[in-house]
Chain A
């Protein structure tokens, strides 16, 4: 089913649904206990997809979401509103040594409410690696093709035929000049206005996020949604989870209150993303005989290169991410030195200000040139080479997750190549100056000078700012309980009625923006669960 084109700032499907009587309850107003068929923790790509499929099978579903329910009427396209309301830690979530800043959604719809709509099927090289190195069968290209087709139809994922904005056009131009393969990105939009504010919540409901597709469908079928509610721990008896203990957050959505909520269910699904799902399992002290939970967490560590173009780029306007190049992935064997995907990001004032290096007069000069700023990002494909073990989710004293992601020489070698590649593309696209985003903050006016300097860059945590918008791994899928937390059907190897449906399932990073991989795998798993559970299994 393709979504009807209702994209408009005058229609708010969430407020209409609430008016129809959806059961959406803020944590502080929640009952002390709920009894349902299925409890799902998280409302992002995995939780949303599972809620839709399981509610359609007639199961009574309850969703637990730590963030708030916000919708198009609230999406005012202002970073200062959007980041605190819709992102984990106001978009300032960090790894343990503060070396990586992570952009992760924290609202109904999760990352899908705030992502930039890039939709890639899981690359065949990634699936092949999962089969050969992780023994994962049933996840080949042909196995997943029908699931990709189904979710692509459901979410209107299609080629974007509008001309790219100037920021993305510069990537295409530079890559073409160098003879580097590049292509348009498919997007999950219906009737997109080409505004450029996807990262602050779509104000026209064109983005086919979980917020406007699967979650409304589940709520229309009577599902319950608890917002502002944190999942604290799963309580088990024998090899079964009996209840999920939650706590309501305060009105600001920041600190836990004393209001506790217990959700009893026949089946539990963890879908809080690759940082919060491992943390929930760790807090619950579930069996983990091989110490796998939270290990091998991947981020696509990403570095940034800015450039000044002779003409206005206006990177704040137009669909933010429409062109990509996989040249530096395709030309590298996945198990070797780190390859990277090249894309362009949106360029809004806060994101630009906190990304551009340095402070004072030199920083102010970059900012005054905001309209001429062109930016590329390189997303490193972590988790394939033996030297690329990713990070580890552990619990802090307050029970919250801390991701320790060591930045080592193997990673920085890839970072150096990525800076060089981006500078080369940007000069080929006509850049007057290129500024690799690094503490030195120097601007280069020719490629030779940039090459020399990048070759000599001191690369270290917080000297080389690294960002991530993709969290993956930590509860990997696989048949072997010595190497995987859940089996190939998404069920926990040691806890019978606990399942996982989010990016934490992946044995490595995806090597592409992960939303479509999560949708397809969650759809496949949830369809299997629905078949078993609706008959009382």
Chain B
């Protein structure tokens, strides 16, 4: 076992402990604005992650790309709003934790605010969670995988590129 891996496992264990106690950091009540399941911090984090999960799928043109990212964040927000309160609370804890600078650095290796994070840093954080020895980090990856990819491919905007004709029109 090399040093990098040892350090990684150590931070992983500390990270898991922090994550496990994240519930203490804030009340369980949802802080989001009315009409939204995600608060501003969570929206910013999701917006930073969308281009990583959807690399190769988002439009290339800068304007359409920005629109697509905004729309996907809104669709993630709507999807979270439909989840049971207990699952919404778990996600709120995760985003709250990731919004705290030391946890962001420790768990994601992201040095700056999420809104200005380098895409490569975000990408390496996501890749690390995917293969993490810590079940909690893998579950964070899994939740974001499901929310972001589900939001994108559930929207007819994504269907042309994947050869999905959409549902048949039965009334014709």
Contacts and interface: CB of A to CB of B under 8 A. Distances in A.
Q: Do A and B come from one complex?
A: yes
A365 interface: yes
A84 B82 contact: yes
A203 B81 CA distance: 26
Interface in B140-172: 141-143, 145-146, 149-150, 152-155, 158-159, 161-164, 167-168, 170-171
A355 to B, nearest CB: 9
Interface residues of A, number: 49
A349 B158 contact: yes
B167 A76 contact: yes
B139 A364 contact: no
**Which of B155, B159, B164 has most A Cβ within 10 Å?**
B164
Given A9-B170, A98-B142, A370-B163, A252 B82 contact: yes
A370 B149 contact: no
A439 B130 contact: yes
Contacts of B111: none
Given A350-B153, A360-B55, A367 B162 contact: yes
A365 B145 CA distance: 16
Contacts of B130: 358-359, 439
Nearest to A85: B82
Given A84-B82, A398-B86, A349 B154 contact: yes
Interface residues of B, number: 43
A364 B56 contact: yes
Given A9-B170, A350-B153, A368-B161, A254 B84 contact: yes
Nearest to A200: B167
A349 B160 CA distance: 11
Contact of B139 (A255, A316, A353, A462): A462
Contact of A364 (B57, B83, B86): B57
A352 B139 CA distance: 19
A184 B52 CA distance: 42
B84 A352 contact: no
Interface in B103-131: 123, 126, 130-131
B8 interface: no
Contacts of B84: 89, 254, 400
Contacts of B123: 360
B9 interface: no
B55 A364 contact: yes
A78 B154 CA distance: 8
B85 interface: yes
Nearest to B170: A9
Contacts of B85: 254-255, 398
Nearest to B130: A439
Interface in A344-364: 348-350, 352-354, 358-364
A191 interface: no
Point out which of B55, B81, B150, B155 has the most chain A C-beta atoms below 10 A from its C-beta: B150
Contact of B82 (A254, A353, A400): A254
Contacts of B164: 316, 348-349, 370-371
Interface string A78-103: 11100010000110100001100100
A214 to B, nearest CB: 25
Interface in A362-398: 362-365, 367-368, 370-371, 396, 398
Interface of B: 52-57, 75, 79, 81-87, 123, 126, 130-131, 135, 138-139, 141-143, 145-146, 149-150, 152-155, 158-159, 161-164, 167-168, 170-171
21 contacts: A76-B167, A79-B154, A80-B154, A89-B83, A90-B82, A97-B135, A98-B135, A252-B82, A254-B83, A349-B164, A350-B153, A352-B153, A353-B150, A360-B56, A360-B123, A365-B56, A367-B161, A370-B163, A371-B164, A439-B131, A461-B138
Given A9-B171, A353-B150, A363-B56, 20 more contacts: A78-B154, A90-B82, A98-B139, A98-B142, A349-B159, A349-B164, A353-B153, A359-B53, A359-B149, A360-B52, A361-B56, A364-B56, A364-B57, A367-B161, A367-B162, A368-B161, A371-B163, A371-B164, A462-B138, A462-B139
Closest 7 CB pairs of A and B: A364-B56, A77-B167, A80-B154, A361-B56, A360-B55, A84-B82, A353-B153
